[in-house]
Amino acid sequence: MIPARRDEHSAEAGAIVDAIQRLRANPEVLAAARTDLAAALDRLGLTGTPRQAIAATLTLRPEAILVYGSSMFWSI
Amino acid sequence: MLNKVPDDWPSTTQLCSAVAARVEQVFGETGDRLAEISAVIMASEDRVLSANPRPQSSLLVIAACVSAGGAWQHALWPAVAMECAMAAADVFDDIADGEATALWARFGPGSVLIGTCGLLALAAGIVLRGIEDGLSERTVLDLGRLLSDELAQAADGQARSLAPRAVSDAVDAYEVAAAKSGPLGSLAARLGARTASNDPELLRAYGAFGSHLAVYSQLLNDARDAAPSGSTHKRDVREGRQTVPLVFTGSSGAPPHLRGRALQEWEAHERQRIAAEGGVLAAVALAHAERLRAAEVLDTLARIGRPVQVLRRLLDGQP
């Protein structure tokens, strides 16, 4: 039902890290994401989980997530 | 119906009380000094004997048991074992990071180290006590094996994270975060599910959920510990730990000659730089991906008729 997918997750992590690097290097894409998120994600060539993760990151302010994260589960 | 919390699901207060009572029972049967050290560990931070307990790992054990079709009472001993193992893992991590200062000051380094080993040894025996609540011998043996296997995997991941220059890029740092925290989440969920079922596919699904939940939490914690608003008690930035936000931005720790105010100023500036250069954002985005994967597993479980509402609440941070 749930196959072992760690390699797939690492590949997706690579796509996410690459997208953040490209957003930093291209502020115009970040600015464009505020008005047309889907177009900005297309420009980054993102699909699947990386696309959804970047969309959520750009939509939600990280500061809000991190306050919420103060009651998180695991900190090893 | 599948979105409704099961009618017999107890309140968090009830669950905490039930787990705490059994922890105290175990300590009452344990040698004086080990019981004293263990009780202090279990009463610190937000653990089960603290004033404001948030024993999330044992709640995950119990929630997975109920979701897999068991009665929550059957998962109590496995939950207590998880709580003790998690507390021990946490203290070992604090020792490795030089952050076990309060315990150190109270008991001394040797006693803390030996006491924490004792707490871990207790966990291995506690999980077998499921037999007292009617679990079969086969089930408690499987629980014991799970505890050993997953803790060993988490220890391997943790040792990897502490090795000098083990990480070359942010993806490596993500893999290390997953290797050290994923097995702990998988363990909690699988312990719970195994008390109710021995269906390997189902156990794999609950294990995957627990793993993604734990990695999600770990990445958010790593982001928080590097963020400008993060606690300065956490030494990640000063010591240049190999976490995603630091590796992403090439942050490798404070110059060794800095002390006092100069060190504080360096750290405040470095945290701002890490945030400005996308380190916090990268960790948060990777955390979102783990959260999505955890939600996907819950959707799969819901489709085959498993009640997942309590697990969803844990994922949403609403125990």
pLDDT at A3 over 50: no
Alpha-carbon distance of B236 to B172, in angstroms, equals 17
User: Are the C-beta atoms of residues A24 and B277 closer than 8 Å to each other?
Assistant: yes
pLDDT at A75 over 80: no
pTM listed for this prediction: 0.94
Mean pLDDT per 10-residue section of chain B, whose length is 319 residues = 68 94 96 94 94 92 96 97 96 90 95 96 97 97 98 94 89 95 97 98 98 95 91 88 96 95 96 96 96 98 96 86
Q: Check residue B3 and give its pLDDT.
A: 56
Closest CA to A49 of A37, A59, A61, A41: A41
Which of A17, A23, A60, A61 to mutate to probe the B interface, most B CBs <10 Å?
A17
Q: Check residue A67 and give its pLDDT.
A: 56
In-domain check, residue A24 = yes
In-domain check, residue A55 = yes
User: Are the C-beta atoms of residues B217 and B245 closer than 8 Å to each other?
Assistant: no
pLDDT at A63 over 70: no
Are residues B56 and A6, on separate chains, in Cβ contact within 8 Å?
no
* DSSP state string for A28-53: HHHHHHHH-HHHHHHHTT--HHHHHH
Q: Which residue is associated with the tokens 């105290």? A: B24
Q: Check residue B99 and give its pLDDT.
A: 86
Mean pLDDT value of segment A10-32: 94
Q: ipTM score here?
A: 0.92
Identify all chain B residues contacting A65, using CB atoms and an 8 Å cutoff.
Answer: 220, 223, 284, 287
Mean pLDDT value of segment A25-54: 94
Are residues B281 and A68, on separate chains, in Cβ contact within 8 Å?
no
User: Are the C-beta atoms of residues B306 and A67 closer than 8 Å to each other?
Assistant: no
pLDDT at A4 over 70: no
In-domain check, residue A56 = yes
User: Are the C-beta atoms of residues B300 and B198 closer than 8 Å to each other?
Assistant: no
In-domain check, residue A3 = no
Are residues A66 and B174, on separate chains, in Cβ contact within 8 Å?
no
Domain count, chain A: 1
Residues 21-50 of B with CB under 8 A from A: none
In-domain check, residue A67 = yes
Can you read off the two tokens belonging to residue B84?
């003790």
Residue of B nearest to A7 (CA): B175
Domain range enclosing A48: 8-71
In-domain check, residue A18 = yes
pLDDT at A73 over 60: no
Angle at B233 between CA A65 and CA B173, to 5 degrees: 60
A with B: how many residue pairs have Cβ under 8 Å apart? 134
User: Are the C-beta atoms of residues B259 and B231 closer than 8 Å to each other?
Assistant: no
Are residues A76 and B248, on separate chains, in Cβ contact within 8 Å?
no
In-domain check, residue A32 = yes
CATH class as words, domain B12-315: mainly alpha
Mean pLDDT value of segment A8-33: 94
Q: Check residue A1 and give its pLDDT.
A: 43
Q: Check residue B305 and give its pLDDT.
A: 96
| Nearest residue, CB atoms, B282 vs list A6, A17, A71 | A17
DSSP summary character for residue A22: H
- Provide the residue ranges of all domains of chain B, joining segments of one domain with +: 12-315
Can you read off the two tokens belonging to residue B88?
């021990």
Q: Check residue A74 and give its pLDDT.
A: 57
Identify all chain B residues contacting A46, using CB atoms and an 8 Å cutoff.
Answer: none
Which of B209, B243, B286, B290 to mutate to probe the A interface, most A CBs <10 Å?
B286
Q: Check residue B295 and give its pLDDT.
A: 97
Alpha-carbon distance of B54 to B37, in angstroms, equals 20
**Residue by residue, what is the 3-state secondary structure of B14-65?**
HHHHHHHHHHHHHHHCCCHHHHHHHHHHHHCCCCCCCCCCCCHHHHHHHHHH
In-domain check, residue A76 = no
Q: Check residue B233 and give its pLDDT.
A: 81
